[in-house]
A and B are shown apart, each in its own frame.
Chain A
Amino acid sequence: MKDLSITVGWLYPDLMSTYGDRGNIICIKKRCSWRTIDLRVEPITAETTIKKLEAIDILFGGGAQDMEQEIVMNDLRGKKSTIIRKQIEKNMPALFVCGSPQLMGNYYEPAEGKRIEGLGIFDMISKHPGKNAKRLIGNIIAEVQWENLTDRHPEPRFNRGNRSEGSNQIDSSPLAQNDSLIVGFENHGGRTYLGTNVKPFAKVVKGYGNNGEDETEGVVYKNAIGSYFHGPLLPKNPHIADWIIQSALSQKYQEDIPLTPLDDTLEWRAHRFIANRMGVEL
């Protein structure tokens, strides 16, 4: 087997990493290293050259606090955004969590102050309904709409945990029927409404999602995913992590490269805890 290597571009790690966002990078990196895939992390900062940006295979963005958001957008507009848009059009997988999808939409209207123009990658708008509006906070569970992901594999290949493990039957649950669920935590004031050119990433089962009204959670365009889940989305949802890795490999090597299954017992155990807590039996 040839040596596989991919590069993940991490948008402004010191500005856009509010609350455990780097868990996604750690997750992708580890899941690659366990499979002896060489994963490089390329921080995208004000100093990043166009050449380096063009060489990435996956793009990741986390949440930013208000002050940091301004610094980020000033740097991102212009050349960098043109390249990112081009790569996403060419099916590069990307993941934006927490507040960053708002910046990738058409615009964001904060509770106070001016409308912030987004990069327009996702056809959607976000607005904050005002300072006194309720923040949407809490654990969330949603069902991924795989058919909206444009990868060549409609069903991702992933391991659902080692069923034969030990005497305590950790994974004897009928998880197989529910492998489209994602679990996590959301904490946002803004509400997002999708346009016609994009599809939702998932359907809300418990929690709020994009706006607390239309049951949509997140957004998909080509292989780019935006989600209001904040912080470490991938560790407790290894099927999404593997979908991203696999998509990146397929894009880069232009062939189907199956991923070695991993023992994800602990991942699914943590996944199931949230589901059960929210009254969804797995």
Chain B
Amino acid sequence: MINFPLIFFGKVLSALSKQANIGHGSTWPGHIALRVNKSIINELIEKNNIKIILIAGTNGKTTTSKMLKSILEKAGFRVLHNASGANLLNGIASALLLHASTTGKLPYDYAIFEIDENIFPVVVKHLIPAYVMLMNIFRDQLDRYGEVRSIADKWKSAMETLPRSTKFILNADDPMIAWLGSGAKNDISYFGVADSQKKEMEHAADTIYCPNCNTKLTFTSVVFSHLGVWECSKCFLKRPKPTIQSYSFYPLPGSYNRYNVHAAVLTARMIGVNEASIKLGLEGFEPAFGRYETITYRDKKIKILLSKNPTGFNASLRAVQEEKAKYILFALNDQIADGTDVSWIWDVDFEEFLPGFTEVFVSGNRAFDMGLRLKYAIEQMTRLDSAERANGIHSASHSTLRDEPSGSDSKSSESPKWQIEESVNKTVSAAIEMLPKNETLYILPTYTAMLEVRKILTGKHIL
């Protein structure tokens, strides 16, 4: 039974919190509503016959959600989308209350919820999803999320509590995700990426031993990290055959976005969306904040690629390398939302990508840690000329011996020039100032640094 006074009360609270400018992301009306009625979410969803799509994974949640939302909307569905966060349930309840009429009617057909690694088991206690999309599991913020294996175990238990009606969309190329599907009785569809030529595995690969029997897996090809065509020689667990592994149109570059597109297209097809709407939906897709977002600022072109863990960072570097990027800015913060431990930067393969850049700007409150990582990734870095120093930008000194043996001279001409400055604001301004007209500045920030960068470039807070 829906509690009408509660909905009304929740709506008043939401309106008040908006009025008081506490922020769009306020979750406390939902918190209070859930305290009063634990099953409010489920009741509202059932009453309105809204189908829930959950999406979990270390990387790709936001972009894939937005792609799927765009497709479903092109097909005429009304879609509610909620980004991930620690207070996800409160957030969902708040969002539902905000949009519900006082009689509890909601104008949505589908709701897409992004869920953090640890939240998945909690969420399925409160609602029954029609679809669950599991993208990948990589090492990310061990201080918050824990180890790859323990996340997978939690997900497996959570999956077992769901009824047969829930359909799963799983990544065949990630052994840990495919393993989750191996014993399930539910309807499972797999996506993957068609064979790549790459055989070498990056350092930041996590699942290289069989999740079932601990034997080292054989990879016949690798797309990136531990995603690829794999099998176990002992227990014969192997990459399931994907229903989809290529598509005719990709709105964003980078192989990681192929996974995102395939997952969105596969889910849309399972829902019954026609091919024309899928294509139109992807063509009309706009990247989410900081996820390959392009901004024009003072007639200069800037692209922002959120890069918050080793696999995501490598993927960003590969994407900008494919675009022959010359001007690059790294912004490393260590706020709670970024992860307070910045050790992971040593798992990023900078060695492979740095020589292609001409100017490297390093900023964020952990700028010196990032600078140090870069120093150890390259033969020699040369500081930018002294003009920048006058503007308050510190330039790091030559990182190598002054009496370096000859022969490295030829290398130094290929090495990028660099500068380090903790202030993101100063660094972004300086980088844009010196950016030639026809070039693009690529910014690879962690989460809170991305918010800072956007604030500078758009003048707006997004949270």
Contact = CB atoms under 8 A, between A and B. Distances in A.
Contacts of A267: 372
B264 to A, nearest CB: 31
Nearest to A23: B346
A187 B372 contact: no
Contact of B346 (A22, A66, A170): A22
28 contacts: A14-B208, A17-B203, A18-B139, A18-B142, A19-B347, A20-B343, A22-B346, A22-B347, A26-B376, A27-B376, A34-B400, A34-B401, A36-B405, A65-B147, A67-B149, A68-B209, A167-B389, A168-B394, A230-B343, A231-B343, A235-B346, A236-B369, A263-B399, A263-B400, A263-B402, A266-B371, A266-B375, A266-B420
A136 B37 CA distance: 37
B343 A270 contact: no
A234 to B, nearest CB: 10
Nearest to A168: B394
- Those 6 A-B pairs whose CB atoms lie nearest each other, nearest first: A231-B343, A23-B346, A20-B343, A20-B346, A270-B368, A65-B147
Contact of A273 (B346, B369, B404, B405): B369
Q: How large is the interface on B (under 10, 10 to 19, 20 to 34, 35 or more residues)?
A: 35 or more
A66 B209 CA distance: 13
A139 to B, nearest CB: 8
A70 B215 CA distance: 12
A36 B343 CA distance: 27
Interface string B405-436: 10000000000000010000000000000000
A78 interface: no
B366 A263 contact: no
A137 B143 contact: yes
A26 B209 CA distance: 24
Contacts of A17: 203, 347
B451 interface: no
B101 interface: no
B373 interface: yes
Interface in A133-165: 137-139, 162, 165
Interface of B: 139, 142-143, 147-150, 203, 205, 208-209, 214, 340-347, 366, 368-369, 371-373, 375-377, 389, 394-402, 404-405, 420
> Chain A: interface residue count, which band?
35 or more
Contacts of A15: 209
B345 A65 contact: no
A30 B376 CA distance: 6
A185 B346 CA distance: 14
A235 B209 contact: no
B288 to A, nearest CB: 27
A168 B209 CA distance: 50
A187 B389 CA distance: 38
Question: Which of A167, A267, A270 has the largest number of chain B CB atoms within 10 A?
Answer: A270
B346 A266 contact: no
A66 B396 CA distance: 40
A178 interface: no
B341 A19 contact: yes
Nearest to B211: A67
Contacts of A30: 376
Contacts of A235: 346, 372-373, 376
B62 to A, nearest CB: 24
Contact of A22 (B203, B340, B375, B397): B203
A4 interface: no
B396 A265 contact: yes
Contacts of B214: 67, 70-71
A260 interface: yes
A187 B377 CA distance: 26
A269 interface: yes
Nearest to A25: B346
Given A19-B343, A170-B394, A263-B401, 18 more contacts: A20-B343, A22-B203, A23-B373, A23-B376, A26-B346, A34-B404, A35-B401, A137-B341, A162-B397, A166-B397, A185-B340, A185-B342, A231-B346, A232-B346, A263-B399, A263-B400, A265-B396, A266-B375
A257 interface: no
A262 interface: yes
A245 to B, nearest CB: 14
A30 to B, nearest CB: 5
